[in-house]
Structure 1
């Protein structure tokens, strides 16, 4: 594989640098001292591993130590976790990413956007779904994806702080072109499976999605199997996912209104995606705010500056192979 030298991957990342590890919460390096501060080191390692797992997850749809070993060795992990504890941590990260992508993004945002279109696939009650119907729906999902390509970015939005999706989108090398096709294939396959499992349906009496927990489990299994099936198993072999130069800097996708190109007659519609952060927090009244000290203001200013520069930069964590 021949990637441009300007593209960094997991092979270029080192979690521990000169005895220090990046603290994503405070946006600065901090000593990695598992002997005297094991609990804090557990938190730091967990934070870092989640950022790394998001990179590997893009092509594997799972979270395994072997995929991040080059950046965060098991030898380091075992200084703060037992093997069993770490296995559970990775499983929890995988479960979270499955939910964020397959439920929050795919079902609640992407398919909800497509569902308002007149050519969205219809369900025929009491009829067995045959190969012809499946092929027709697959063509529909492919058409939706081509006509509404921004949905591919939405699908992988939970990974945005770690992967360089813009590099993938440019498709300037055969490897990046393959990764771009991979996102398309994932969206089409996941939409079809979610439709068959009725994950895009909600009951009138409740907000529960169709199929319940059993359908969610089935969708997860199909999602995990995708990278292991041909032709993708062979096509993805050896391809490394590009990492953001501001790796872990908290990058998010835009949540502004995006006019859809899926015309319903002569009236194109718009859809406002559900926000994934911020919640409904009540802002405090300015008069109720505690006056910050000069030191606190300086620290706040410093952290804002770090965020603007992307947090972890290439000079901090990226190393040539």
Structure 2
């Protein structure tokens, strides 16, 4: 089979598997919500609400129907892109909730990923190029510590130090309450501030975004540090690198122009897996820092047993993760044809 046909076959298989993965995610979310103890009517209306109101809410959610019928109705709504109406945000559809809160999560996730890649790749390169020396030991410790520390604990400690004691960073919001927010063009304050040409808005956005994104990015950077260090050390021992050294090429050029390019190939795969972890980490970060993103809104919906919002947001996150996974697999297939066999 030619390379182009093998690549097309690989991409087709990945695309055909995507609906199955989404169905699995949607089914797990549906079953976990129904298996959770407690009555959604009590969580939303309160235990002292009239029984008639509770019964009406259960009927609205379809909880009075058999489980199999609830599941079929749920899949039917998903196929028609109907996520329902949010019970904890009266008058808003779940799509409207996603549209309102998701830009803040995107902004936090993107800035955190940039921090994670820059810090992780840099420390990985420094550690691998200083094998068994002080910098290598420091890089390994950095990777282990950042990978193992609980995010919520680090977030609270950094808030106490830099926000409460030193008063360097603000907390609990995305923009100063007393200031005019950027015009709602994309929903991303960084981009909207640039489009508006307002430097003050841009600096305020960066100021409020800095602490949560640095926290999440630093803790995720340990993953990249370990991947880059291990693969770069293996690449530096390859025959073609030794041949480059024998030709008298400077070690700096060997590292950057020869070894690093091949060592970064496995990093692309890890990017897809880290993206999924980033969404989960963003939920914890948003709750810890009271960041007004979709993760924080999901946490509130879970607390209130808001079935439509939880199901809709989780499926939405699942779609993003599946699409990101497919994109990473396709990019890998173009870069490294061995993964198709």
Common fold, TM-score beyond 0.5? no
TM-score, length-normalised on structure 1? 0.26
> Which is greater in Rg?
2
Structure number with the higher strand fraction is: 1
- Structure 1 or 2: more helix by fraction: 2
